[in-house]
Each structure stands twice: as structure tokens, then as C-alpha cells.
Structure 1
Amino acid sequence: MSDRKRNKIYRQKYFWLIVYVIIQSLVIFTYFAMREKEELTWPYTVTDSAERVSLTEVSNLLKEDSDGRRAAVMNEKVYVETIPGAGLMSDETASEVTPSEQSQTASEDGSSDVMSTVVYAELPFPSSTFIQDVIMTSDFEIEVFVADGFSMGIWASIVMQLLFFGLIIYMILSMTGRVGGSFGTEKGFEIVETRNLESGLEAVAGLDNARTDVQEVISLLKNNGNAAMAGGRLPRGLLLDGPPGTGKTLLARAMAREAGVNYIRVDASSLSQMFVGLGAMKVRKLFRKARNLAPVIVFIDEIDAIGGARGNRGGGDQDRENTLNALLTELDGFEDRSGIFIIAATNRPDMLDSALTRPGRIDRRITMGLPDIKARTEILEVHCKGKRLADDVDLYQIASTAYQMSGADIENLVNEAALFAGRSDSAVITMDDFKAARDRLLIPRSGGATSMLEDERRLTAYHEAGHAVAAILNPNSDPVEKVTIAPQGGALGYVLQSPDRDRVFEIKARLKARLSVAVAGRSAERLIFGDEMVTTGAASDIRQATALAKAMVTQYGMSAIGFVYIDGQDNSLLDINKPVAREIEALISEAIKSCDVLLDENRDALETLAQALLERETLSGDETRALVLSSMADIKAAG
């Protein structure tokens, strides 16, 4: 948001509150400025020597015969002048009064021979009742009536009440949008003028399939929605769906930059408010802003937060449905929406209400899938701009090992590689830095160091060697990229495989090869150490093999059960659970038997690879293949 927009919102928000404070200040100032100033000589001259008594005594004194005496109110105190022989002060009491407790008062002829004593009592708050009922009805001569204490207390109370009620009124007006205050309706808005958008489509790589639709929308926005060439109109909106990190937000900003229009980003979860009705009010305010900024792209992120199908939620989500209804009304075109284009993003398009994506509302859709190897290479090139790369860096090879990574993951990969280079005090990123960064992202590090005894290292070495040998000798398996027995994260060792190319679907032979590789670690343990020495290190392998075999049986129709999809949540298919379990077991048992035979026939390759891992801990894919193939060549030569 620009400084000019921010200042404008600030001025609107506090304008009426400042005006209210100024008016209240003027009222108070006017009162004191117009008050009649009196020449105050008494009781200022006696306040230091006045004696404090109870309010009851002062009340009784005021009811006595008061000829020639005076009373005054000042600073929330009532002062009464007494003379010897009258009221509270008797002759004997007056004779005992010390000179410091006395003051002289002038008589009518100007003499000062009459001695008087002043007493005072604290007034209650509020003091208006006491003044009216006691002082004003007494026979005392009110020569000086100083209203400071009375007036300040009353006026302070009035002003505080006015300020309190004014604040309540201001909050109510803020909630209804009648004044500049937003009461939370500004939260979640990001308004960016087109000149402040940093980059366009050149920063968004890997969008070959979506580029046609994107360019068409950009062209229509540039022409202010004019598609009259064939009688068409600007689409109402575009839905971007796909996994997290695939560039949905980046694409929306880039489209606004390319089209030369303003951009408003809204977090859909911020449209749901704690107070009922505020969400709908915020939606209407959003579109008012959009109309003022048109042409504009309004990007609603994670729209499933408010756009879920109605009727499937409890009463607590009534406000969310009201917010969705307000959004549907704004999208329906009842008001002028010329120059406003809606882009919504979600990771769960299946949850959206059908009314939201019908024609005339958000009626275009682009699925942002995970990038293929070509797109990953382009994304790497974008994120490597401005960074110094070593001569050995091959971005295509890095992209091939970054299988199933999103654009955000690839950006993180480049950043981690730069951090690894920085740790070695190098300004150049090498291929080893990229490999270390990839390993760190795939297998996070553990919080503490894991140390293994020699027998545990030996068991782990044969376990990982079994995985590697099975992967290398199976022609349908993915190539081995790295083998290590160095503990990292929750793994004591691992074999990293990277596909040689991206595949749209898998074949049964490749799935069975993955099963064989998964069970090979346990098979190697059993072959070398016996059935009683197998370890718990195969727990993750068992989960992986079971999940894969279950998918082959229940989803892919690759078992004796046949071409059937089986939903585990469907109670009508409970009778088929036992056959499903038998088929899963059969697939895994077949993989174990074939792997046992493979490792037994190539035990020398298994031994050679395990000893190399014990010596060096980590081997690259090329080194691993060379060791396995050379062992097989030696066996053939010896035979």
C-alpha cells in the first residue's frame, strides 16, 4: 500500500474523533472564559489558619443566628466564619484560640477590633444538594461564594460522561461504516498500485499450459474488458487451484503488472469476523474499494475458507454463509463491475460451493500442478538470477533430482544451497551445495546427534546396501542418486532415488519394482544375519510397501480381485476386506521372494557395497553402480 493511501485511511479513521475532542474542549474553555471573575480576598487570607471540623458541626453552625457572619465554598470545602459567643465557638473556646488560629476581619467602619475564627469542612461529592439545602437557605451572609470546587467537580463529571457516551457512539458508527473507523474491516486487505508491483510474467516460470488463458485475460484487462470483436465479454473471474507453493499468488500479481492495473489481495479467512454481519460488510467494502480503483484485479487467497459448500456446516458457521452470500451477490453483476476481475486461489477446489464457480461468477479455472522437469529448470533459472554459480552446476540435473518439488520448494532449495556456500565462506554456489541442500530438504536433520555402535553400523550398512542392490539390478526401478549410513533426521541411513524423467502415470512393473526395493532392506538383514537378527529399522519400509500394495489392490485394479475400486469407508464392502488383505499380502510376499533370490545370487555385490559404506559412510549413485556392476563382472570372470 502506498504512503498516500495509508495516510488517507488514517485521516478518515480519526477525523471525527478529533472533531469531537475539539468541540468538547471548546465547550469547557468557553465556560471558564465567560465566568465572572471575582475579587477573592476571603477566605484566601485565612485558609492556612482555618480549623477543620465535621460536616455535621458546620451544618449545625449554619443554622444558628448568624448576624454579621459569613460563609463561602471553595476548592470543595465549605468555610464558616465564627465569632466568640455564637454558634460552635463559645466565649471560653474563643479565649483559648491561639493568635495563629485567629484572623482579623474589618467591620463596617473599617476598624479591626472584632476577632473571628474560620472553620471548614470537606464537602461531599456531588455537593449541589448540600449547597442548595443548607448554605443557600441559611441566614448567613454569603459575601464571597467561590464556585471553583463545586463547578470543577460537576463539570468534570459532565465532561467525562460526554466523552464516554461519545466514544460509544463513535464505536457504533465505526461498526456500521458511517465514520472513517473500520472496526477490523481493513484487516487482511493489501492494496497495491500498478506502479508498485515489482515483476510480471517473466518471474513466473513453468506456465506453458496456462499461458494462453492468462494472456487472454491480460489482453482484455488492458482493453478495459473490450471483447466486442466477436461479441464477447471479459470473464468474471479465474479460479487457480493446485498444491501449495505452485505460484498462485505470484501469478495473480504478475497478471496485474502485465495488464497495468491495480491489485488488491484479500485473505479469505479475514472475511469471516467474530461479530455477525461484519464479514458481509467487509465484502461490500472490498468491492466498493475495487470500483474506486478499477481497472483492478482482486485476488482472494484460500477462498475455501468462506466458499465451502453451504448446508454442510453447523449453526456456528451462519456468519460464514452470510459472508458467502454477500460475495455471490457482488459477483452476480447486479452492480457495475466493469474493470474488476476476480482471481481466487484454493488447494481444495472440491470443497467449493457450486454457485461460486458457475458461469457469470468465477467462470474460468486453471489447475496449477507440480512443475515437470522442464518447468523446474526454468524456475531454477529464475531463482538463480543474481547468484554466482560454479562451472560444475547443471540446473537440468538439479531439476531432475528435485522430483515432486513445487516452485516454492525450488526457491527454498536455491536459498539453502546459497546458505551452504556461505557456511564455507564461498560466494560461489557449487553442485555439492545444491546436493547438500536437496538432502536437507528431503530428510530434515534431527535435533541431537545420533551415535551408533559398530554392530549397529554394520546392520545399517547391509540394510541400505540391500535397498541399493535391488534398485540397481531391477531395470524398472528409478536410478540411485545417493546411499548413506550417516544418521539424518529420523533415519539411520537411506537410499535416495531420482526418476530419470517425469511420468504422467505408473505401470505395474514399476510399482512392483518399488515394492521389491522397499522389502530389500529386511531381506538383506535376514540373508546376512538370520531371521532372529532382523531389526526395527524396516518399520518405514513396511508402511511404504503396505500402502503401495493396498493402492494396487483397491485403486489401480492390479490384483486377482480385478478391475474394482474399493473404498475403505464403504460399509457395504466389508465382506471383501479379507480378500483385499490376502491380495495385499500376496503382492508383498511375491516381492520378498523375488528379492531374496536376487540378493542371494548377488551376495558378493551386497558384501562389497556394505563394506564400502562402512568405510566411507556415503556413496554417490555413480559410485554405487560402479561397485555393484564391477562385483558382478568379477563373478562372471571367475566363473
Structure 2
Amino acid sequence: MQMDDKKKRQSMIVYVIVAIVAAFAIRSVLYPSLTSGAIEEVSYSDFLGKVDSGEVKQVQLDTGASQIRFTTGDGDSKKTYKTTQFPNDDDLVKKLQDKHVDFSATIPDQNSNLWLYMLISYGIPLLLIFGGGWLLNRRLRKQMGDDAPSMNFGGGFGMGGGLGRSNVREVKGKETGVTFKDVAGQDEAKESLAEIVSFLEHPEKYAAIGARCPRGALLVGPPGTGKTLLAKAVAGEANVPFFQISGSEFVEMFVGRGAAKVRDLFKQANEKAPCIVFIDEIDTIGKRRDTSLNTNDEREQTLNQLLTEMDGFDNHKGIVVLGATNRPESLDVALLRPGRFDRRVPVELPDLAGRESILKLHAGDVKMVEGVDFGAIARQTPGASGADLANMINEAALRAVRCGRSRVTQEDITESVDVVIAGEKKKSTVLSEHEKEVVAYHETGHAIVAAVQNGRRPVSKITIVPRTSGALGFTMQTEEDERYLTTREEYKEQIAVLCGGRAAEELIFGQVTSGAANDIERATKIARAMVTQLGMSERFGMVALGETRNRYLGGGSELTCSDETATQIDAEVRAIVEEGRQMAMKTLTENRFKLHEIAHYLQKKETITGEEFMNILTRDDGFAPKFKQEPAE
């Protein structure tokens, strides 16, 4: 809606500018003497000299404009001159006749000429400017309400008008169409927000005991986890008006406009209390203030006004401000103190049970065959957000339609997981037989190293079909259960699995390819986190040498140590990754026969299931691997 309003305003301004340009173009056509730049102006004596020398061919005397126009030369050499303020020369006509010069004279009505000049030069442009401004002002007032102040200077170039009004979108509680039953996988967040709903529904119970409602709650978490959905659910549960606006909509070119929008927002909220005010991406206006010279006065004024408004409103009326951000570390401390955003509600990525419940919730809107195993899909998607899972269900439904089925099957959902994680199958990429063989050994190397570990992440699928993400193949592992702690040995095993592909290439072909680029990046990231953040390095011990930046946006860490220590950290990271590579090489060397057998089978079929892989790997033919035993807990 806001974008439509903005486009309409921009269109009106363009119309006004076009009208002004058209007016001046008309003036130029009707009054060419005012705009022509191809005529050279000379003195009257120069004109007489050219007449005496016989250069002048044609003369036009305009007594109304006190101007003489004359031409010299013929054809391409023809030039036009003009002279003004010529004296009353009685001999001029005789001179022109003697030289056989063609001449004429115009004696216009001076009054009508003056009025025409004034009308064309000033009247029409001013009429178009103010007429366009009046139309623009009328449309803005109609869109923003009758109480919107008028704009200045014709409506197109003033700083008044609707610029001080917030573009907030108001929705009545039930009209949000969302309640807590529509939110899955965020039980803790719903429980924390349920108290706000209770206050909005029964404020008298809290007033009787002297409790006050939290002024604000900050929803913090990665993108796609349902922060906006939760805010709408609170309004839907409490059945109160819901005001939604993005932090970026407060950012204005003119100083003070953002603060005016904040005032208008809370004015509307006071009139509709009790209500929910939801500011999405609040870090846009709530960034931490500093003392550097390079500051944004407009943003800071907007933030100061927000702080003032949150202090000033009467929270007994039931006004609750909800903010959402995935960059909480960048927010100003004054915004986070008690009395403003009293609560911080984590909206994290869903766990195993949460992913399963989200899949079931979104599957309720789609026709599916009986017996779909959502638990298996949930185990295949660790780290997926609610938005990712919803997209998987939608992709499965689209695939079912493409395949001509009326219901979604388990295969459709499984394939949709691959599409969301790795992209669509890339039919245009055809690998040569040698490249196909290298990729098959690479992916089999990952799978064997992963399977020979303690079995906590068994292989569920191996494929060498290229994907649109750029991957030429991938090995999918499935979590049997949810784990919240990871040991140093488990991290080393993960690095070994990532090194398994490169190790297989070295072992079989004696050379390496570019196919391990992503594996190297991920292995290095794990090793660096072990050294700088997790205290899992024997050389440095339990010391934090780095800070995590933008943890909800996938940001890496930033070292907080000396250059000498950073050099030692690099050496330690290399040692840990090399240890993982040696572990992978040892495992593949011991299971070389199985590596050949499974790689050839994969090269032939292109995609195999985890069950097929394990059947070949564990078959008792004298070459079955010895699996590591998981320690007793």
C-alpha cells in the first residue's frame, strides 16, 4: 500500500515538471525572439556598415520591440543579425532602396503585445504549476485523511503535507487472521507472549494487584522464524487493533520527518488503545548512538522521539510495543532498558519436534496421501527455519501438480527438501564420464567417513546429479535425535567427514580438483571456531580470541587478539584441519575396496538411498568396515 501511495505522489510530481517544460516549450515556439540563440547581436553602426558594403540582403524593422533583424549572404553562408535601440534615422529607408535591399516593417498594437508576452512568459507556467500542485495536494489529502495538512508552494515542492504522517497499517485484531494455533515450533515464545495477551484481555486483574503490563517486547531471532507471525498472533488472540510498520519507513530525507512519523504513530495508537504497535526491523532506527562525527542526525532524532514516546504513554491503557530484529547487538542500550522493551523473546530456529510440528501445520492446507512421515523430513532438515519448511511443503505440492498427481507423496516432500537445500536439478549440465567418476568417488568418500564414525549422523542419500546451486553432487546426513552439546571429538569427526571427498580424490586419482571448495570453507570455519571461541585448542586453552558478529545473520567471528597471536591461530587451524584430512585418508585407505564398489554403483545409478549405501558397506564379504563404538553415556 505504501509503495502505491509513493508511486502516485511521484507520478503527480512528474506531471507537474512535464507541464512546466511544456509551457516553456510553447513560449519558445510562440515567442522565438525570447529563446533564439542563433542570432548575433550587433550595433546600429555595424548594421549601417554592412548596408554600405552591400552585404545586407533582407531587413525587417520591428518598431514594437525596437529591433532590426537583417540577413547577409545566401544559401549555406546566410547569417541573421539583430540590433536594438536604433535611432530615428530618416535616411535609412533611402539607403536600403539605393542598395536594393528587401525590407519590411511591423507596427503591432503595443497593449495586446504586452499582454500576450506576459501571458506566455509568466501566466501559463504559473497556472500549470499551481494547478498541478492543487491536484497533487488534493490527492494526498484524500489518501492520507482529511486532517492531513496542506502542502506548500503548489503541493509539489514543500516540506509540509503528508510527510509527517506515518504509513502505519492498521488491522483489527481478528482481521489479522492469525492466532497462536497458527504458530508452530515456537512454544517458549508463545508462552512468553501469552501474558501480554492476558493483560490486554483482562487488565483489571493486573490493576487490582498493582502490576503493570510490559511496555514492549523485543522479538529476536534469525530471518524466517516467525517474528511477524507471532506479533500478529498476539493481536489476534487479544482481539485488539494491530498497527504494523517497518523501521525503514521512518527514515526520511528531511531532518525531523522521522520523528514526526513516530509522534503520529503513537497518537493513533493512543486513540485506539488497547492495541499492539509492531515495528519490524527496528534496528533500522534503533541502532546504537555513538560520539563520532559521522552521525546521522535524522536517525538519532527518530530514535530519541521513539524513546520519549515509549516513556510517555500510559501503559495502563493497554498499548504494547512489539519490535522485531535479527541484529540485537546493534540496538541502543537506552532502547533495551526496563520500562521500554521490558522483555526479550527469543524466536530461534525450531528443534526436531518444532520442525515436525511446522511441517504438519503447513501440510494441513495441502492434500496429501496417508502415512507421510514428517519425522523423517524433520530429521533431514536441521537448521531449517519455519519459512524454509513452509517453502518445502509448497515445492512438494508444485511437484505433485507437475507430475500429474492430485495428492502430495513422501517422494515429493523428499525431493522438495533437496530443491530448497541444494536447488533444482540442472539438466543443462552434462558431466563427462571422467568428471562423473571423480564426483562419485568424492561423494562416496564423504559417506564412508561419515558412516564409519560413531553413527550419530547416518547417511540418508547420495547423489551426483548437478544442482542449480552449483553443487555437482551432495551427501545428505540425518540426525537421529536433537543434540545441544558438541564435544571436541565430534567436531574433529565433522571436519574429517568434510575432508573425506578431497581425501578420496587424492587416494584414487593422485590429484585434487576444485570440487572441495565448499568442504574446505566449512572445515576451516569449524576449526577456527574451536580455537577462537570454544576453547578447544590445546595450545591456547580456555581463552576467547574472537567475537561473533551478527550471529542471527550467519556472520563470522572477528579476532580480538594481537597479530602475533593471530599468526599462531592460523597455524593451529591448519593443524586441526590437517588432522581431519589424515583421519579421513586413513579411514578410506582401510576401506578402499568398499570405496571402489560404492563409487561405481553410484556412478551407474547417479542417486542412491542411505539404505542402499549401508547394505553395500556392511555386507559381509570380508571387506566390511569396523565401525567406531559410541561411548556409553
- TM class by smaller structure: 0.7 to 0.9
Partner residue of 1:619 out of 602, 608, 625: 608
Verify the 8 A CA contact 1:549 1:588 in the aligned structure 2.
Answer: yes
Report the alpha carbon displacement of residue 583 of structure 1 after superposing the two structures with TM: 2.2
Residue number in structure 1 paired with 2:100: none
Report the alpha carbon displacement of residue 279 of structure 1 after superposing the two structures with TM: 0.5
In the alignment, the residues of structure 2 paired with residue 235 and residue 380 of structure 1 have an alpha-carbon distance, to the nearest angstrom, of 33
Residue number in structure 1 paired with 2:470: 490
In the alignment, the residues of structure 2 paired with residue 359 and residue 418 of structure 1 have an alpha-carbon distance, to the nearest angstrom, of 46
Residue number in structure 2 paired with 1:553: 531
Verify the 8 A CA contact 1:560 1:583 in the aligned structure 2.
Answer: no
Residue number in structure 1 paired with 2:519: 541
Residue number in structure 2 paired with 1:81: none
In the alignment, the residues of structure 2 paired with residue 312 and residue 443 of structure 1 have an alpha-carbon distance, to the nearest angstrom, of 45
Residue number in structure 2 paired with 1:253: 232
Residue number in structure 2 paired with 1:202: 181
Partner residue of 1:364 out of 343, 366, 391: 343
Report the alpha carbon displacement of residue 634 of structure 1 after superposing the two structures with TM: 5.7
Q: Secondary structure at the match of 1:332?
A: helix
Report the alpha carbon displacement of residue 529 of structure 1 after superposing the two structures with TM: 2.1
Report the alpha carbon displacement of residue 594 of structure 1 after superposing the two structures with TM: 2.3
**Closer, same or farther: CA 159–351 of 1 in aligned 2, 3 Å:** closer
Q: Secondary structure at the match of 1:245?
A: coil
Report the alpha carbon displacement of residue 187 of structure 1 after superposing the two structures with TM: 5.9
**Which deviations, in whole Å up to 9, do the C-alpha atoms of 1:427-486 show, x marking residues without a partner?**
211111111111011112477722211111111111111111111111155111210111
**Which deviations, in whole Å up to 9, do the C-alpha atoms of 1:571-601 show, x marking residues without a partner?**
7522223432332232222222222222122
Residue number in structure 2 paired with 1:457: 436
In the alignment, the residues of structure 2 paired with residue 273 and residue 415 of structure 1 have an alpha-carbon distance, to the nearest angstrom, of 38
Structure 1, unmatched stretches of 5+, are: 15-52, 60-118, 129-148
Residue number in structure 1 paired with 2:479: 499
Verify the 8 A CA contact 2:166 2:261 in the aligned structure 1.
Answer: no
Report the alpha carbon displacement of residue 354 of structure 1 after superposing the two structures with TM: 1.1
Residues 46-445 of structure 1 mapped to structure 2, 5 A cutoff: 121-124=108-111, 127=114, 160=127, 163=130, 167=134, 178-179=149-150, 182-186=161-165, 188-224=167-203, 227-311=206-290, 315=294, 317-333=296-312, 338-445=317-424
In the alignment, the residues of structure 1 paired with residue 593 and residue 312 of structure 2 have an alpha-carbon distance, to the nearest angstrom, of 74
Q: Secondary structure at the match of 1:598?
A: helix
**Which deviations, in whole Å up to 9, do the C-alpha atoms of 1:18-38 show, x marking residues without a partner?**
xxxxxxxxxxxxxxxxxxxxx
The range that moved more, 226-235 or 363-372, is 226-235
Residue number in structure 1 paired with 2:94: none
Q: Secondary structure at the match of 1:501?
A: coil
Residue number in structure 1 paired with 2:36: none
**Closer, same or farther: CA 313–630 of 1 in aligned 2, 3 Å:** farther
Matched, 1:599 2:588: yes
Aligned residue identity for 1:360: G
Aligned residue identity for 1:501: D
The range that moved more, 260-269 or 473-482, is 473-482
Answer with 1 or 2: which has the greater Rg: 1
Aligned residue identity for 1:353: D
Report the alpha carbon displacement of residue 263 of structure 1 after superposing the two structures with TM: 0.5
Q: Secondary structure at the match of 1:475?
A: coil
In the alignment, the residues of structure 2 paired with residue 591 and residue 163 of structure 1 have an alpha-carbon distance, to the nearest angstrom, of 75
In the alignment, the residues of structure 1 paired with residue 564 and residue 503 of structure 2 have an alpha-carbon distance, to the nearest angstrom, of 33
Report the alpha carbon displacement of residue 499 of structure 1 after superposing the two structures with TM: 1.6
The range that moved more, 342-351 or 440-449, is 440-449
Aligned residue identity for 2:525: A
**Which deviations, in whole Å up to 9, do the C-alpha atoms of 1:348-385 show, x marking residues without a partner?**
11111111121111111101000111111111121111
In the alignment, the residues of structure 1 paired with residue 560 and residue 347 of structure 2 have an alpha-carbon distance, to the nearest angstrom, of 35
Report the alpha carbon displacement of residue 312 of structure 1 after superposing the two structures with TM: 5.6
Report the alpha carbon displacement of residue 399 of structure 1 after superposing the two structures with TM: 1.3
In the alignment, the residues of structure 2 paired with residue 185 and residue 422 of structure 1 have an alpha-carbon distance, to the nearest angstrom, of 49
Verify the 8 A CA contact 1:602 1:632 in the aligned structure 2.
Answer: no
Q: Secondary structure at the match of 1:549?
A: helix
Aligned residue identity for 1:594: M
Verify the 8 A CA contact 2:185 2:353 in the aligned structure 1.
Answer: yes
In the alignment, the residues of structure 2 paired with residue 582 and residue 512 of structure 1 have an alpha-carbon distance, to the nearest angstrom, of 16
In the alignment, the residues of structure 2 paired with residue 335 and residue 239 of structure 1 have an alpha-carbon distance, to the nearest angstrom, of 19
**Closer, same or farther: CA 455–636 of 1 in aligned 2, 3 Å:** closer
The range that moved more, 587-596 or 273-282, is 587-596
Residues 516-535 of structure 1 mapped to structure 2, 5 A cutoff: 516-530=496-510, 533-535=511-513
In the alignment, the residues of structure 2 paired with residue 222 and residue 502 of structure 1 have an alpha-carbon distance, to the nearest angstrom, of 37
**Closer, same or farther: CA 369–121 of 1 in aligned 2, 3 Å:** same
Report the alpha carbon displacement of residue 335 of structure 1 after superposing the two structures with TM: 6.2
Q: TM-score, normalised by structure 2?
A: 0.73
Q: How many residues align?
A: 508
In the alignment, the residues of structure 1 paired with residue 315 and residue 536 of structure 2 have an alpha-carbon distance, to the nearest angstrom, of 55
Report the alpha carbon displacement of residue 337 of structure 1 after superposing the two structures with TM: 6.9
Report the alpha carbon displacement of residue 630 of structure 1 after superposing the two structures with TM: 1.0
In the alignment, the residues of structure 2 paired with residue 313 and residue 632 of structure 1 have an alpha-carbon distance, to the nearest angstrom, of 72
Verify the 8 A CA contact 1:476 1:510 in the aligned structure 2.
Answer: no
Residues 468-479 of structure 1 mapped to structure 2, 5 A cutoff: 468-475=447-454, 477-479=456-458
Matched, 1:588 2:588: no
**Closer, same or farther: CA 271–374 of 1 in aligned 2, 3 Å:** same
Q: Give the superposed CA RMSD.
A: 3.6
Q: TM-score, normalised by structure 1?
A: 0.72
**Which deviations, in whole Å up to 9, do the C-alpha atoms of 1:164-197 show, x marking residues without a partner?**
69859969x9899534985344564211122422
Q: Secondary structure at the match of 2:570?
A: helix
Structure 2, unmatched stretches of 5+, are: 13-59, 67-105, 152-159, 547-556, 627-633
